[in-house]
Amino acid sequence: MPQVFGSIHNNTWDVPLESFVPTAKNGWIAQILFIISTCATKASILLFYRRMTKGTYNARWRYAIWAVLAFTFAFFAAVLVAYCFICQPLDAYWKSYSFTYDEPFTCINGNVLSQLVGALSILSDLYATLLPWCMLWKYKLDVPRKQRTALNTIFGLSLVVAGCAGGRLYYLYRMNHSYDTSWNGFYFFV
């Protein structure tokens, strides 16, 4: 395992050649795990909103929650399919980092895909954060001032998630536009 994780935060020219393929495979797996975990978390939060407000809101809010749930599931499915078909054959995605790999393959631009996924993830983070905030403001629920302040604080802290996603997108861009990806990739994984 050290060869897989040992190349991150080293300059590319200091990384042993035998680490290129396992590190690229690790990167692909990390992208899959990222999309699974973020979409599952967003779906869980949105389903909680639906359950929490059942019977206290009109059809517009119900449709808004279902729309963002549909977007989240469609986003998950589309990104998962895109990453599974990023190269034909798939193992060329990581094996092509070996200088001895000479099989024919075609790949889509993974840099564009990962940055698009990052931008859409920020958008869905914002939507999932702003939806309950709007519901709280719209309905002026009979909630004591302390609880309203606590809810607003929690919703405000949810914006930190979108901020972290923005930071992730920045470091992803930096990593994708650098010749020293193993060095810049460290900040992406932090």
Q: 153 exposed, middle or buried (CB, 10 Å; 0-12, 13-18, 19+)?
A: exposed
* pLDDT tier, 70 (very low <50, low <70, confident <90, very high otherwise): very high
Enter the pTM of the model: 0.80
State how far the Cα of 151 lies from the Cα of 86, in Å rounded to an integer: 41
Q: Give the largest CA-CA distance in the chain.
A: 68
Mean pLDDT computed over every residue of the chain: 83
Which token pair is 112? 């564009």
Q: 182 exposed, middle or buried (CB, 10 Å; 0-12, 13-18, 19+)?
A: buried
The predicted-structure confidence for 89-146, as pLDDT tens digits, reads as follows: 999 999 998 889 999 999 999 889 989 999 999 998 898 888 888 877 776 667 788 8
Query: Nearest 5°: phi and psi at 68?
Result: -70, -30
Q: 49 exposed, middle or buried (CB, 10 Å; 0-12, 13-18, 19+)?
A: buried
Average pLDDT of span 17-42: 89
In this predicted model, which residue has the larger pLDDT, 161 or 179? 161
pLDDT of residue 175: 80
Output the CA torsion 132→135→137→140 (10° steps). Answer: -130
